[in-house]
Structure 1
Amino acid sequence: MATTNEPIEKAMWEPHIVNIFCDICIKEIDNGGKPKSHFTKEAWKSLVETFGKETGRIYEYNQLKNKWDQLKKDYLLWRALLGTDTGLGWDSEKRTVDASDDWWKRRIVVRILYFHSLFIDFDR
């Protein structure tokens, strides 16, 4: 464990390591380690230990928690992007949503309008 004088090594998150982390989190959820909206302290301890055993990497709680939080943000953005649309696919080669040009045009317009609305002062 790092002391306060030692810098913590930056976590490296290659795709296969993210997959391992997600699998460990799913198992912990299935074992009741996330009874509501957050992992329990015992679950985080188990996640840190299991992650180290399965990857050979010694990441601390904060490093795993930061990754969990970022994955959650990414998932929420992904869900917002897809909305309630069906019939979409995934292009593994491009690593993008596989959708028609018309679908993309509609999504881009919605995002542009949303971001513009953040900066418009409607009181003027």
Structure 2
Amino acid sequence: MLMKLTAVTLDCADPMALAAFYHRATGIPLADRSDEEFAGLRGADGGLFLGFQRVDGYRPPSWPDQEVPQQLHLDFDVDDLDEATARLVEWGATVPAEQPRPDRWRVVLDPAGHPFCLSIPRGSV
């Protein structure tokens, strides 16, 4: 049996706001929304679906400590770490002080507090 990953869904307080952030960051178009409970982005040609679902009492992860665990994180390749980080901060992301390997990757927190990493594609460094 072979499984194909088709979707990743993140909990949050405001699905449309988080979908808008990731749309700006990735260019993946908005593909789904239902009232204020859910929104999603879908890559080209039926690619990976990135969903955002509203959760009452949502508490963002508290990275790097684990008082509220991160549970998962996303990784994105970028051409320039500094430029990508700056643009994401303009759009509402934050950069935690703790950066385990800032020369190789950057940890960034989306507007709902989910940590994700930016890195230069392997073989480009």
TM-score, L = length of structure 2: 0.23
TM-score computed with the length of structure 1 as normaliser: 0.23
Q: Which structure has more RCO (C-alpha within 8 Å, separation ≥ 6)?
A: 2
- The structure with the larger Rg is 1
Structure with the larger helix share: 1
Structure having the higher strand fraction is: 2
